[in-house]
Amino acid sequence: MTDEALAVTQSVVEDFSERYLESLGGTIETRGDTWEVTIQDNGDTELPAGSLSLLCGAGRDDDSTGEPLHPESEVFQRILREAAERRPTGKISIEADQDDVVIPQWIKQGDVEVREIQFTPYYDRTAIVVLFEVSIETVSEYQQELLRAIAIDHRSEQRLPALEETFLQMTSIPTNSSPTTTEFSLSRSDARSLLGTAQDQLMQSIQNEIDEVHNEASRAADAEVEEYRQLQQQRIQELEEERSKLSSKIDELSEAINSSDQNDRVEALKKRKEAKAEYEEVDSELRTLHERRDQGFPQKQEEIRKRHALDIRVTPLTVTQVEYERGELDIELVEQGVSRTVTLGYGSGIGTTDTVQCSSCDSVLSVDNPLKRVKGSLQCRACSSSNE
Amino acid sequence: MGSYDLVDVEVTHESADDLLDSLSEDGAEEDHLQSIQAVRLQAGQPDSELRSLKELDENSVKLLEHQVDAAYRALFEMDGKALLADEVGLGKTIEVGMILKEMHFRETDESVLILTPAQLAKQWQAELQEKFGLEFVCNYDDEFEDFDTHDYIIASIDTAKSERHRQTVLDRDWDVLVLDEAHYVKNEETDRYDLIDRLSYNYAFFLTATPIQNELTDLYNVVSLLRPGLFGTRDVFHQYFVNSNQETLVNRDELQDRLNKVMIRNRREDTDIDFTDRTIDTRTFDPTQKERELYQAVSDYVKGAYSQDQGQKLVLMLLQKEVVSSPVALKETIEKRLHEQSELTHADELESILDLIEEIDTVTKQERLLDIVEEARDTVEMGRVIVFTQFRATQRQVLDRLASEGYTVHAFHGGHSSSEKEQIVEDFEEEGGILVSTDAMSEGRNLQFCNLLVNLDLSWNPMRVEQRIGRVHRIGQKRDVFVFNMALKDTVEEYVLERLYHKIDLFQQSVGELSSILSRLEESGTSFEDQIFERLVNAGSEVDLENDFDAMAVDLQEQRELADKLEEFNNGVFEGFDLGESDD
């Protein structure tokens, strides 16, 4: 299960199914663990119109009638399939709420108090978030399925990892505040172009996983080539022995031909002919094998390599246009009675977009080296402690 | 470990056209959130939990934490290809049972092939049936036809690799392969290795307590069958993981990482198994003069008949065993034989044996049994004693005798239906008294409420003996267990008991330990029972016989030492490796 996947628990199954059935215009009457569902015949679903009893939870008895509703039940699988295909594109907006402003870690981890924050949005920005399914398969390893979210800004075409996080939080189950979705408003060509960028970014982000499987597959292929090479080497040795035996036999027969009488000579000649034919055969096989070995068994290697090749399939499953606001964030900081306001570029859903440097050492303030002083100038922990 | 760029990476980007087409479709916008969530839920499946566990009957099988963990890891973390390498006696069969049960529950087990050493095949069949309700056909069953006619098969690996079956086994795509005592395929130059190497399967579970038999290459071979390439090539494995004298492993962390992907090894000290003590009391009794004469007559008959016709081996063996169980058991067999075979060459001899049986008025073992149960009446809770015999006729007679003495008795044999069997065990628990059982007492039955067991007669198959004891002395038994063995002096039983069973400390071994000793011994193809019988009928004199049994005991002793050594060696190699329960 990847980070992007949601855990399929019974309560999630029930929560999701309830919302889905209601969005179809269905009604649900709950009686203990049994749901009496009525679905109208509106053509939006393959679930049977009319009444349907669903049995949820652990209280399923053998004698109760109705369709089971649990993570692996047929009804739930059908609901998931339908829901996934119903509206794979759409738009959500992330509005800036002063209460939800994310204070950067380099301030949070520091020793300076935040007195006030004020976000002033200046303009709306658009991004897309694509959920990709990636399957990695090879003969020696098992298929790996990944689900990954990639966010790309419309204007800059930059990846926005923080927005991916926000998107995943907003679409989790259960959510505190479900976002409202509206119609996707980017043009088809814009969407296609952003999808392409998202694909490129995706491939970069999963490179480590691919490398790991690639290494293992290569190792397996390598082992197979090596075993094959050893087998052939063994065969070469056998054939060499065989050839040397035949060679001695031919010599012996030649000698016999020279020294025996008519009848024996004819017999020996016959035998020598047979031995020579056999010798030729062995010799020819040996030559071919030597040749193939010297070239490194290219055909076999190619065959093995092909069989172990990694097959990676990337499928975009949903595309979400995300509207967010960009502007400036004023943060009033106080330290030992001295206050100072810092203004940073900020976006709803993506957090601060600027980095801030220590005025003494120029290093970028971070969670590991947070802000320590604001008096006079902004100073990092390392600098202020060396001054003390 | 070298650079690996041998294989290509092909990336296919599926078309986004369908997705983009949905831009122009009408529909409720709020459904988009549901689509995202549905996609994320689909990726969250399949949920990995052992869903079949709650279907298991707690009375039939008690699962231990390390077993559940092993089954879980093998299925979900190792993608269904695992080497289960627990130390002996920790229940690897149970782990596989759970795995197979789960696969059955998830319907991913259309065809399952379990390959075991010959002497363990029937035991596997019984355990899977009794503990997990899984029905398998064994290649020793009458109904077994071939490897393409059944879907759930337990077979000896040697049958599977035999000329007759090999191709059929290889022609099939198996869903699941289970290989017991996997160390027997360690040698890549054997037919066995070749068979496993060529078999086609989706999931595989290999079992062994000693993955390394002689040298560390064994580990490479066994693991490479399961996960080709995990260790790279043989040469790389040697250069990288084995020091030059072949005795120790180097780069252990890296090796452990890789082994962790495929091997699970639980150690006894890490589990919560705590067996109580087992006390063995072997009592040998002087037979009466008449019993002695009968024993001699039967032994002579068996010897003579076998030298003339070896085809009768099974029935002759039966007679030899029955004579020490009870005259009545012997009588039934002889009468049946006389009745069925009209032209018997030795009919007169058998008739005279019948006469000797008629003359016996005191059956020593049964009289002495009364002493034991009488003692138990005062010392054991509700006087509960289980008496085991191999023969129904003996069972009937013992039951009558005990009942006539006023004891509460219960009978248990293979003729009862399974609900009757349950009722019998329940009655025995509630009413106490004496349960007289044949070896049909199923392994799965929970008899921990009783802690005194009497072997009225003894099987020549040590596994059987241990299985009897195992029904009482098992996980969950809270009291010390007492086992009484009864034997008549100067009989085959005394030899088997004194010279063989006690020499290998049989009564203190677990089934797992025994199977590792016996499978080594039976590598030659002759079963333990056959070896006993052959010695018995071929010995020229009493002294010869004693010497023969001593020689067999020495063999056993050696095998036992070897098995111990091997386990010690494997423990040494894997010491410090965390191949058991995963930390997360």
Closest C-alpha among B122, B92, B312 to residue B206: B92
pLDDT at B344: 57
pLDDT at B164: 92
Q: Which of A108-112, A254-258, B262-266, B270-274 has the lowest mean pLDDT?
A: B270-274
Q: Which of A48-62, A232-246, B173-187, B361-375 has the lowest mean pLDDT?
A: A48-62
Residue A217 has pLDDT above 70, yes or no: yes
Residue range B483-511: average pLDDT? Answer: 81
- Its CATH class, for the domain covering B60-273, is alpha beta
pLDDT at B2: 41
Q: Complex ipTM above 0.90?
A: no
* Whether A328 contacts A355, CB under 8 Å: no
Residues of A in contact with B30 (CB under 8 A): 23, 180-181
Q: Work out the minimum CA distance from A313 to partner chain B, whole angstroms.
A: 5
pLDDT at B456: 94
**pLDDT per residue over B188-210, tens digit each?**
778 888 899 899 998 999 998 88
Closest C-alpha among A286, A276, A189 to residue A237: A286
Residue range A19-32: average pLDDT? Answer: 88
Instruction: Tell me whether residues A83 and B35 touch, CB distance under 8 A.
Output: yes
- Number of H-type helices and E-type strands within chain A: 9, 13
pLDDT at B251: 80
* Whether A131 contacts B41, CB under 8 Å: no
Q: How far apart are CA B483 and CA A96, in angstroms?
A: 79
Number of A/B CB contacts below 8 angstroms equals 219
Query: What separation in angstroms does the CA of B341 have from each of B327, B344, B391?
Result: 21, 6, 22
Residues of B in contact with A71 (CB under 8 A): 45, 47
Residue A336 has pLDDT above 50, yes or no: yes
Residue B105 has pLDDT above 60, yes or no: yes
In B251-311, which ranges are continuous DSSP H helix?
Answer: 252-259, 289-308
* Whether B81 contacts B114, CB under 8 Å: no
Q: Work out the minimum CA distance from A382 to partner chain B, whole angstroms.
A: 36
Which residues partner with B207 through β-bridges?
B84
Distance from first CA to last CA of chain B, Å, rounded? 28
Please tell me which of the candidates B12, B32, B38 has its beta carbon nearest to residue A89: B32
Q: Which of A198-212, B22-36, B46-60, B419-433 has the lowest mean pLDDT?
A: B46-60
Residue B3 has pLDDT above 50, yes or no: no
Residue range B123-145: average pLDDT? Answer: 90
Mean pLDDT, all residues of chain A:
86
Confidence of residue A1 (pLDDT cuts 50, 70, 90): very low
pLDDT at B4: 47
**Between these two residues, B108 and A125, which has the higher pLDDT value?**
A125
Q: Work out the minimum CA distance from A289 to partner chain B, whole angstroms.
A: 22
Q: Which of A91, A216, A229, A321 to mutate to test the interface with B (most CBs of B within 10 A)?
A: A216
Q: Which of A12, A77, A222, A306 to mutate to test the interface with B (most CBs of B within 10 A)?
A: A222
**Between these two residues, B5 and B531, which has the higher pLDDT value?**
B531
Pick the most confident of A30-44, A86-100, B131-145: B131-145
Residue range B97-108: average pLDDT? Answer: 85
Confidence of residue B512 (pLDDT cuts 50, 70, 90): low
Residue A81 has pLDDT above 50, yes or no: yes
Q: Which position has the token pair 């000793």?
A: B517
Confidence of residue A84 (pLDDT cuts 50, 70, 90): very high
Q: Which of A137-151, A318-332, A369-383 has the lowest mean pLDDT?
A: A137-151
Residue B502 has pLDDT above 60, yes or no: yes
Neighbours of B7 (CB within 10 A): 26
Residue range B267-284: average pLDDT? Answer: 80
Instruction: Tell me whether residues B7 and A314 touch, CB distance under 8 A.
Output: no
Please tell me which of the candidates B24, B30, B40 has its beta carbon nearest to residue A5: B40
**Between these two residues, A12 and A260, which has the higher pLDDT value?**
A12
Instruction: Give this prediction's pTM.
Output: 0.56
Please tell me which of the candidates B42, B46, B232 has its beta carbon nearest to residue A223: B232
**pLDDT per residue over B377-394, tens digit each?**
778 878 899 999 999 999
Share above pLDDT 90 across residues of chain A, in percent, rounded to a whole number: 36
Instruction: Tell me whether residues B31 and A87 touch, CB distance under 8 A.
Output: yes
pLDDT at B584: 41
Residue range B12-41: average pLDDT? Answer: 85
Mean pLDDT, all residues of chain B:
84
Q: How far apart are CA B188 and CA B228, in angstroms?
A: 13
Residues of B in contact with A316 (CB under 8 A): 14, 16, 19
Residue B38 has pLDDT above 60, yes or no: yes
Share above pLDDT 90 across residues of chain B, in percent, rounded to a whole number: 33
Q: CB burial class (10 A; 0-12, 13-18, 19+) of residue A38?
A: middle
Q: Which of B1, B4, B40, B227 to mutate to test the interface with A (most CBs of A within 10 A)?
A: B40
Closest C-alpha among B284, B266, B263 to residue B512: B266
pLDDT at B523: 58
Closest C-alpha among B521, B522, B574, B514 to residue B219: B574
The 3-class SS string of B103-165 reads HHHCCCCCCEEEEECHHHHHHHHHHHHHHHCCCCEECCCCCCCCCCCCCEEEEEHHHHHCCCC
Instruction: Tell me whether residues A318 and B39 touch, CB distance under 8 A.
Output: yes
Residues of B in contact with A312 (CB under 8 A): 9-12
Residue range A221-227: average pLDDT? Answer: 84
**pLDDT per residue over B544-576, tens digit each?**
888 888 888 888 888 778 778 777 777 777 776
Neighbours of B272 (CB within 10 A): 8
Confidence of residue B583 (pLDDT cuts 50, 70, 90): very low
**Between these two residues, B514 and B298, which has the higher pLDDT value?**
B298
Instruction: Tell me whether residues B19 and A310 touch, CB distance under 8 A.
Output: no
Residue range B53-72: average pLDDT? Answer: 79
State the greatest distance between any 2 C-alpha atoms of chain B, in Å, as a whole number: 104
Q: Which of B17, B39, B50, B201 to mutate to test the interface with A (most CBs of A within 10 A)?
A: B39
Tokens coding A136:
């990695």
